[in-house]
C-alpha cells in the first residue's frame, strides 16, 4: 500500500475499508474510508458506523440511506430494513419529515411520520400507511382525526353517519363560553364550558348545555354548588342541588310528578341509609325482607311556647299540649298556614293526660324567623326524673307535674302513660339534682 501526497489532491489513491480505513490514527480499525464514488464512510472497531452517500444522504448504522424508502432521506438512523430506524428528510417538495420504521414492514414502509409542511406551516403526524392522524396548523389549532382543526383542540371521528367530535374553543366568543363543543352528524349536541357572565350565572360557572333542548343539564356555580336538571337552587324548581357544605343544604331533590329519591339495596338485607354526627353512627334505616326499620331515633315535631325562648329548659323535660297554634309568617310578614302544630308548656299537672312529649333542644326557624322547640314524641329518648325519685327498668312513667316524670304505679297503659323505662343508666344529671334515664316514649 502506498501513500501519495499531492498539493492538488491531498491524500489520494487510498480508499480503505471499514476494517482498515484510509485515514486513521493509532487505532488501525477506526477512521475514515471511501467505499464508493462520491461516498465517505466512518468506521469504529472495524465496522462501518456512518456514511454520507453520493446524494448527500447521511446514514447512521445504515449503509444505503437512499434506499430506506422510495424517496430517500437526508438522514437515516438504523438499517431501515427489518430493524428499527429513523429517517429525516429535508426535501424541497413542500415538507420536511421524520419517519420511524416499525422494524417489520420493510424498506418501503414506515411506522410513523412527523412532517412539517412549508405550504401551510402545519406540523403533521402520520401512521405507517401515510394516513394523517394529528395536525398542528399555522394558527396553533390542534386537529386529531381532522386536517382542518376549527378550534384550539378539535377531536373528530372518521367521517360517517355517526360522526361525533369535539371542539375546544378558548376564544370565549361562543355564547360566553370557553367551551368543549360535542357534535354528532355535524350538529352540535352539547357544550361543556366555563360561562362568561351569561345565562344568569357569574363568571366561572361550569356548565353542560343541551343544544337540542336548549337547556342547561348541569351547572357547577362559582360557589361550588352543583345544579342538575335545573339552573336555580330554588325549592320550587324540580331537579337536584348538591350544596358546597357551607350553606343551609348539602343535598336536595325536587320532583314534579314522581318519587324524589330511590334507595335500592340490590343483593341482601341491611342498611339503606346511615345517619352520623361527628363521624359517629347515630342511627339508620334498614331493610329486612319486606320490612323497613327506622333505627336509633324517635318521632318528633316542632312546637312553640306562649312565652319567649326559655334557655333554662333542659333535655328530657316533660311538655304538655296547649290549644293555641304555632304562628308562622313569611319574609314579608304575611301569615303562613299551619294546620296541625300547636304550642306547648312545661307539664304542671300530676298524672297529666295531655302530655305532648319531652324537650330535646331549641332551634331557630330561619324561613319564618321564630324560635321553636324540637320535641320528641314517640320512640327512643331520655326522660327527666326528679331528685330522690327511683325508677326501675320496665316502669311505666307519667308526669310528676313539675316537668319531670315518675313511676305510674301500675302496669296498665293509660292516657297518662308517657314512657317506659328501658335502662336505669343515668345519662346526665342537672343542677337541681334531677337526672335522665333512657326510655321508649309513648306520648302520642
pLDDT digits (tens, 9 = 90+) for 34-79: 999 999 999 999 999 999 988 888 888 778 776 544 444 556 665 5
Mean pLDDT of 386-413: 97
Task: Please give the DSSP secondary-structure letter assigned to residue 21.
Answer: B
Containing 406, the helix (H) or strand (E) segment is strand 405-407
pLDDT at residue 161 is higher than 50:
no
Q: Match domain 298-442 to its CATH number in 3.40.640.10, 1.10.1760.20, 3.10.20.30, 2.40.300.10.
A: 2.40.300.10
Q: Tell me, what's the pLDDT at 14?
A: 84
Q: Tell me, what's the pLDDT at 130?
A: 66
Mean pLDDT of 406-411: 95
Copy the grid coordinates of residue 186: 355535524
Mean pLDDT of 252-265: 83
Q: Binning pLDDT at 50, 70 and 90, where does residue 215 land?
A: confident
Q: Tell me, what's the pLDDT at 100?
A: 60
Residues 6+ away with beta carbon under 8 Å from 344: 303, 304, 305, 319, 320, 321, 322, 356, 357, 373, 375
Q: Binning pLDDT at 50, 70 and 90, where does residue 180 land?
A: confident
Share of the chain above pLDDT 70, in %: 75
Q: Tell me, what's the pLDDT at 184?
A: 73
The three-state secondary structure class of 95 is: strand
Most confident of 77-81, 278-282, 309-313: 309-313
Cβ neighbours around 213 below 10 Å, total: 8
pLDDT at residue 15 is higher than 50:
yes
Q: Tell me, what's the pLDDT at 68?
A: 47
Mean pLDDT of 230-255: 80
Instruction: Look at the block and give the residue holding cell 489520494.
Output: 12
State the chain's mean pLDDT as an integer: 81
Q: Tell me, what's the pLDDT at 249?
A: 72
Copy the grid coordinates of residue 346: 312545661
Q: Tell me, what's the pLDDT at 336?
A: 93
Copy the grid coordinates of residue 252: 336536595
pLDDT at residue 323 is higher than 80:
yes
C-alpha distances in Å from residue 372, one per residue of 22, 188, 293, 317: 105, 53, 28, 15
Q: Tell me, what's the pLDDT at 214?
A: 82
C-alpha distances in Å from residue 138, one per residue of 89, 124, 149, 154: 21, 11, 10, 14
Query: Tens digit of pLDDT for each residue in 78-92?
Result: 554 444 456 665 554
Q: Tell me, what's the pLDDT at 255?
A: 81
C-alpha distances in Å from residue 47, one per residue of 30, 42, 68, 180: 8, 8, 20, 56
Q: Around 137, how many Cα atoms within 13 Å sit in the side-chain half-sphere? A: 15
Copy the grid coordinates of residue 374: 324540637
* Closest CA relative to residue 176, chosen from 196, 194, 206, 205: 196
Q: Binning pLDDT at 50, 70 and 90, where does residue 103 land?
A: very low
Query: Tens digit of pLDDT for each residue in 346-380?
Result: 999 999 999 999 999 999 998 899 999 999 999 99
pLDDT at residue 160 is higher than 50:
no
Distance between CA atoms of residues 329 and 340, nearest Å: 16
Q: Tell me, what's the pLDDT at 70?
A: 43
Q: Around 408, how many Cα atoms within 13 Å sit in the side-chain half-sphere? A: 20
Query: Tens digit of pLDDT for each residue in 109-150?
Result: 444 566 666 567 778 777 766 677 888 888 888 888 788 887
Domain boundaries, the chain: 4-136, 298-442
Which of 101-105, 192-196, 410-414 has the least mean pLDDT?
101-105
Amino acid at each position: 500500500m502506498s501513500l501519495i501526497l499531492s498539493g492538488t489532491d491531498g491524500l489520494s489513491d487510498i480508499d480503505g475499508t471499514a476494517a482498515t480505513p484510509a485515514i486513521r490514527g493509532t487505532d488501525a480499525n477506526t477512521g475514515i474510508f471511501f467505499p464508493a464514488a462520491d461516498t465517505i464512510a466512518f468506521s469504529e472497531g472495524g465496522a462501518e458506523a456512518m456514511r454520507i452517500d453520493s446524494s448527500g444522504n447521511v446514514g447512521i448504522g445504515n449503509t444505503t440511506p437512499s434506499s430506506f424508502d422510495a424517496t430517500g432521506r437526508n438522514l437515516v438512523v438504523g438499517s431501515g430494513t427489518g430493524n428499527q430506524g429513523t429517517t429525516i428528510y429535508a426535501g424541497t417538495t413542500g415538507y420536511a419529515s421524520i419517519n420511524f420504521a416499525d422494524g417489520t414492514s420493510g424498506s418501503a414502509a414506515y411506522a410513523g411520520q412527523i412532517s412539517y409542511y412549508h405550504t401551510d406551516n402545519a406540523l403533521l403526524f402520520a401512521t405507517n400507511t401515510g394516513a394523517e392522524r394529528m395536525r398542528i396548523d399555522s394558527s396553533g389549532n390542534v386537529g386529531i382525526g381532522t386536517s382542518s382543526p376549527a378550534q384550539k383542540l378539535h377531536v373528530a371521528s372518521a367521517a360517517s353517519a355517526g360522526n361525533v367530535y369535539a371542539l375546544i374553543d378558548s376564544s370565549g366568543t361562543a355564547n360566553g363560553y370557553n367551551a368543549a363543543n360535542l357534535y354528532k352528524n355535524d350538529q352540535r349536541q352539547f357544550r361543556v364550558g366555563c360561562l362568561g357572565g351569561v345565562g344568569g350565572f357569574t363568571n366561572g360557572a361550569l356548565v353542560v348545555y343541551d343544544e337540542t333542548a336548549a337547556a342547561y343539564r348541569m351547572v357547577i356555580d362559582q360557589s361550588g354548588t352543583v345544579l342538575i336538571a335545573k339552573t336555580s337552587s330554588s325549592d320550587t324548581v324540580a331537579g337536584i342541588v348538591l350544596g358546597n357544605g357551607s350553606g343551609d343544604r348539602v343535598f336536595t331533590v325536587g320532583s314534579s310528578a314522581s318519587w324524589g329519591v330511590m334507595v335500592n339495596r340490590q343483593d341482601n338485607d341491611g342498611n339503606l341509609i346511615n345517619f352520623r354526627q361527628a363521624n359517629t353512627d347515630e342511627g339508620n334505616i334498614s331493610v329486612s325482607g319486606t320490612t323497613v326499620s327506622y333505627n336509633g331515633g324517635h318521632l318528633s315535631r316542632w312546637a312553640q311556647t306562649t312565652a319567649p325562648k326559655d334557655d333554662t329548659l333542659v333535655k328530657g323535660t316533660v311538655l304538655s299540649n296547649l290549644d293555641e297554634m304555632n304562628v308562622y309568617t313569611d319574609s314579608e310578614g304575611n301569615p303562613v298556614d299551619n294546620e296541625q302544630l300547636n304550642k306547648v308548656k312545661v307539664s304542671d299537672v300530676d298524672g297529666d293526660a295531655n302530655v305532648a312529649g319531652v324537650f330535646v333542644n331549641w332551634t331557630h326557624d330561619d324561613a319564618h324567623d321564630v324560635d321553636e322547640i324540637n320535641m320528641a314524641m314517640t320512640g327512643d329518648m331520655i326522660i327527666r326524673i326528679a331528685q330522690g325519685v327511683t325508677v326501675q327498668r320496665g316502669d311505666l312513667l307519667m308526669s310528676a307535674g313539675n316537668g319531670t316524670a315518675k313511676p305510674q304505679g301500675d302496669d296498665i297503659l293509660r292516657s297518662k302513660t308517657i314512657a317506659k323505662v328501658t335502662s336505669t343508666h343515668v345519662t346526665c344529671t342537672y343542677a337541681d339534682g334531677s337526672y335522665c334515664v333512657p326510655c321508649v316514649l309513648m306520648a302520642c
